[in-house]
Structure 1
Amino acid sequence: MKKAILSTSLKLIPKAMQYKALTKALNYLFRDQADMVRFDGMVVSFKLIDIRSVWSFQCDGREFSQQKNKKSPVDVICALRSEVALALHSKQEVIRALEQGDIKLVGEPEHIEAVMSLLLGLQPSKVDSLVNHLRSFLRLNPIKRESQIFSSALQQRAMDLGVNLHAITVDQINSSTAVDLVRDAAVELEATDLQESLRLMEIAKQKRPTGPLICRKVEEYRALLMR
């Protein structure tokens, strides 16, 4: 059943769009990891065994992109079945699938070790955020999580900018668009996590110290937290 669901979804989406979405996903998950330098010049393929779908990516040591030269040898193949792919809802489930052999890595030992290191370094919050974006892309129902505190629209904006709202710092904000994102995230959390709202709004204020809404909200949050 799951094989048919995923196979049908992929048939409806052009391959170029699949590559665009997966490239964005890979870079969102891994771009900030120091181990990315170990992938400089490597080609990694992801293969869904049961529906014979393959996506290959090259890496320049900083980020992934679609493989340009199809004749270049693949350094690591990451192979799994559709039902396994659809069950990967968290970092814990990714690690469990690796340990149980449901995700198979094929390649030279040093290349496999590099991939394992990247996967072990995944930020759980990024995996949680990404899962439903990919399910939406595939026209599948979202996974409901109690811990999913940001709206889907806000998470999409964060993914587009390559930032993790759960762990963002002022040094990661390098545009007006990013300031807007952090400000809006703070407002979204007002009713559920006022302390986190204040943290985010204070970050936004460091980048936009005279913003009227930002300044007003910082004072408002501080006053409420002191009661």
Structure 2
Amino acid sequence: MPRFHCPTALSSSTVLELPAGAARHVQVLRLQPGDAITLFGGDTSGEFHATVTQMGRSSVQVRVGDFAPTQREPALRVHLAVGMPANERMDWLVEKAAELGVASIQPLTTERSVLRLSGERADKKVVHWQSVAVAACEQCGGNHVPLILPVKTLAQWVKYRGEAAGSAVPGLLLSLRANALALRTAAATFIEPSALAAPGTSASRLGVTFLSGPEGGLSQGEEDAALAAGFTPVTLGPRVLRAETAALAALAALLV
């Protein structure tokens, strides 16, 4: 059954017009009145059955049916902070991270970043990446759409995190340092054990922040700043992975 993100208040037995993005998607699929669809708001633990009732030239009306308390989110909330890889690789990273169940993504500009964004260009990219995350959740069945946060420099983000409540969340730093712990060892040591329970449970909503660099990795100074802010260095093994591969490998190890 086709799934559509509908970031509006949903309740059973109501009739509503779909947002423009979802309406276009319905029209592209050539759905007709009477066809069944699924709607999800992006921040709930469930979804709604619905039926198309009316197709307009640029609008789609649906009747919302029963709520299904479907839980497909990982028990552990992983917040990914990543030095943005260049070209389409960031799009690919956002898509796959959303499929895996990441809670949020913080795009970062670092000393070695090839992709550098600021101002209006950065804002447009964030909107684009948010739409990529929505489409990924529509496809994979996820009911929580990860939030794509505004682009920051690594220095800005580390300072902000240190001043905010987020500093209470354990931080893991992907690093090639000799003292880096194996990721799974670090996860077992620094993450609340109940957070590693089976998907679908509500054991822990605290989670972990995972910091990964861009092409070329983070500089020594940037790593030192992250370590001073309380991050623990971790490794995925002896191979040097591409920036987008490393971030996704870490998410898979923590979430799947």
**TM-score (structure 1 length as normaliser):** 0.29
Query: Which has the bigger relative contact order, CA under 8 A and spacing at least 6?
Result: 2
Larger % of strand: which?
2
Higher helix fraction (1 or 2): 1
